[in-house]
Amino acid sequence: MPMETIILRPENELLKKYVEYFLFLKKSDHNLINYTTFPNSNLCLAIYKQNKVTYVNDGKNNICSIAVGENRFSSRIYGFHTSPFKVNLQGELDQVCIIFRAAALGAFTGEGLDGIGTSDRAVEDFLRFKDGFLLEQVFDEHHPVLRARLLEKALVGKFNDRIPYRLREALEHIRLASYSGQDTIIELLCKKLGISDTTLYRLFKTHLGQNPQQFLKTVRFRRALPVLLGKEAPLTQIGLDHNYYDQAHFIKDFRAFAGLAPKKLQGKVSLAQDHLAWIFEESKHE
Structure confidence by residue, pLDDT tens digits, 57-98: 877 779 999 999 988 999 999 988 889 999 999 999 999 999
Give the separation between CA 252 and CA 242, rounded to whole angstroms.
14
Phi-psi region of 56 (alpha: psi -120 to 50; beta: other; left: phi over 0): beta
**65: Cβ–Cβ under 8 A, 6 or more apart, which residues?**
53, 54, 55, 87, 88, 90
| The predicted structure's pLDDT at residue 275 | 76
What domains sit in the chain, N to C, each tagged with a CATH number? 4-161 (2.60.120), 165-272 (1.10.10.60)
User: Could you write out the three-class secondary structure of the chain?
Assistant: CCCEEEEECCCCCCHHHCEEEEEEEEECCCCEEEEEECCCCCEEEEEEEEEEEEEEECCCCEEEEEEEEEEEEEEEEECCCCCCEEEEEECCEEEEEEEECCCCCHHHHCCCCCCCCCCCEHHHHHHCCCCCCHHHHHHHCCCHHHHHHHHHHHHHHHCCCCCCHHHHHHHHHHHHHHHCCCCCCHHHHHHHHCCCHHHHHHHHHHHCCCCHHHHHHHHHHHHHHHHHHCCCCCHHHHHHHCCCCCHHHHHHHHHHHHCCCHHHHHHHCEEECCCEEEEEEEECCC
> Any bridge partners for residue 271, and if so which?
277
- Over residues 99-109, the mean pLDDT reads 94
Mean pLDDT of the chain: 91
Which amino acid is located at 147 in the chain? R
Neighbour count for residue 236 (Cβ, 10 Å): 12
* Tens-place pLDDT, residues 196-246: 999 999 999 999 989 999 999 999 999 999 999 988 889 999 999 999 989
Give the separation between CA 163 and CA 109, rounded to whole angstroms.
10
The phi, psi pair for 173, rounded to 5°, reads -60, -45
Q: Is the pLDDT of residue 25 over 50?
A: yes
